[in-house]
Structure 1
């Protein structure tokens, strides 16, 4: 049975700039399976985020096409949630207000959306902070709000663009553990962008190593290490060394 939820078919992307045409994505063929946690990994500014944006509908491929459940992606949609590095939380809304916002826009009755939002607030460990505003939250807590908000609309796919990239090291490790806990509790197909090799190995079912821009797929790794993973386990370290050796240097 074919359980591919995302299909990238000969996808390419170029941008018109003042300095001329810039090719960002070469021709890419890629599938993502249902409930898989797939990591796009590669050097900085190689085109990983652009590929993710094409999958989510925030950008439209110049060539080829992206399909989610065999539907061509032509715009963003409620079946696809996105979590960014810098969370675009509404500063005038509380944690509850931010998490329930998508449901409110869909016209979900107040009692129903509050119940669902509360479930996801509890899931990300923010019970007791429902009435707090984003300015009163730490960076890690703000990311939890973003994850809860994305999960609350119950998307088929969750796209995460270096969501922990601006956090300090300790908080980043904590959020990686939290994401694993949340993902194992509420399975979703996740496409996760990072240029951190340890993060990629810790999280991924499969790592897709991208080349420098214009990016293409250089190699794929199925990560069969048992969870929870240990950063200093020898198998983890061996895989880190193997993958690091094939990654292009940042330009």
Structure 2
């Protein structure tokens, strides 16, 4: 039986006793029906370690003792940032989940000209917490110990101020085929820009190109925005990362 993995927001030290919150306690004791003495793995989202723990008490809340830590080597050598225009909620969730599983390091969600329902500041904190939860759950499932960062930007201009020294790519039907575009590139840190349903506007595409984004092409079939994000990530990992 596979040992369960859980994200921990508290510092994990060998020998420490950690009392889990109500949600994690319910999951271990009522859903998985684990017993005292059984093992659980924790990760803190910021270090390259998994922490081995044993359940020592099951009551209203579960307590565990951290026994040891082991290096986690599941991070990709290719640092990928996804810049995703805000799309429908379920599409964003799927993008975050699957791209986390594929090794993306950070996400920036932004309001684009073609975003159907712009995200308002009054619901931003709640939405960010939800997205962080999606990412944490994906890390629990796929075995990563580092949780990708996620933030929100009001518009594309704000995104373009944050790209740093990454090599930048824009998904567009008028771009070079991805295999051709990356053939002679030595990549270690990239940014991938994607539109929402309906894509980016012409003015946004022009602005991105002026900021150093190169157009790349994933094939002749029209992909949904969440499918495009997953496909692009998988291809970058296959061609320049650790997939395959």
User: Which TM class, normalised by the smaller chain length?
Assistant: under 0.3
Query: What TM-score comes out, normalization by structure 1 length?
Result: 0.24
Larger CA Rg, structure 1 vs 2 = 2
Normalising by structure 2, report the TM-score.
0.25
